[in-house]
Amino acid sequence: MKITGNKLYQRVAASIADGIEGGRWSPGTRLPGERDLAEEYKVSRPTIREAMIALEMKGWIEARHGSGLYVTKRDHGSGRREDALNFDVGAFDLTEARILFEGEAVALAAVSITDEQLAELDGLLAEMAVNETNEPALLDADHRFHLAIANATGNAAIRSVVEYLWELRTKSPLCANMFARAQRSGVTPRVEEHRPIYEALRSRDPNAARNAMRLHLRGVVDDLLEATELEVMERARSELTAQRDSVTRRLKIGSA
* pLDDT digit string, tens, across residues 52-66: 888 887 888 888 876
Rounded Cα distance, 196 and 40, in Å: 41
Q: What is the pLDDT of residue 10?
A: 82
Give the domains, in start order, of the chain with CATH numbers: 8-85 (1.10.10.10), 91-230 (1.20.120.530)
4 — pLDDT class (breaks 50, 70, 90): very low
202 — pLDDT class (breaks 50, 70, 90): very high
Q: Cβ distance 11 to 3 under 8 Å?
A: yes
Q: Element (H or E) spanning 70, and its range?
A: strand 68-71
Q: Element (H or E) spanning 63, and its range?
A: strand 61-64
Rounded Cα distance, 43 and 228, in Å: 16
pLDDT in tens, 104-147: 999 999 999 999 999 999 999 999 999 988 888 998 999 999 99
* Cβ contacts of 139-144, under 8 Å, gap ≥ 24: 139/189, 142/189, 142/194
The mean pLDDT of 226-233, rounded to a whole number, is: 62
Q: How far apart are the first and last CA of the chain?
A: 49
Q: Cβ distance 158 to 105 under 8 Å?
A: yes
Rounded Cα distance, 52 and 48, in Å: 6
Average confidence score pLDDT of the chain: 82
Q: Full-prediction pTM beyond 0.85? A: no
The better pLDDT of the pair 79, 46 is held by 46
pLDDT in tens, 27-50: 888 999 888 999 999 998 888 888
Among the ranges given (79-83, 140-144, 153-157, 214-218), the one the predictor scored with the smallest mean pLDDT = 79-83
